[in-house]
Amino acid sequence: MTGVPWSGENDAVMPRDRDLVVRQEPDRGGRFSVSELPGPVQFFSSSCEEAVRLAKGYAQRQRVDVWYVNGHGDTYHRIAGYRALDN
């Protein structure tokens, strides 16, 4: 997929509670969703760039990280880290 904003250098194992996850939703016409873990989808976007931008803004205020998960849900890439040390 082109336009996904990560280099791979921030890859880690798994997101933590309250982190945000961006994923492409094939059953929703390829739209992108943003969810706070654990929890339901917070919003949808027609582009990955917009979903990541919105997720980063919210994550920065909440001091959590933003992750992208592949379509299978088994590989996570951290794309922004704002987690507070005490979180």
At 55-84, the pLDDT tens digits run 999 999 999 999 998 777 778 999 999 987
pLDDT digits (tens, 9 = 90+) for 17-43: 999 999 988 777 789 999 999 999 999
> 5 in a domain, yes or no?
no
State the pTM of this model: 0.79
> 54 in a domain, yes or no?
yes
> 76 in a domain, yes or no?
yes
**Under 8 Å CB-to-CB from 6, ≥6 apart: which residues?**
68, 77, 78, 79
> 10 in a domain, yes or no?
no
- CA nearest neighbour of 83 among 5, 6, 7, 10: 10
State how far the Cα of 66 lies from the Cα of 20, in Å rounded to an integer.
5
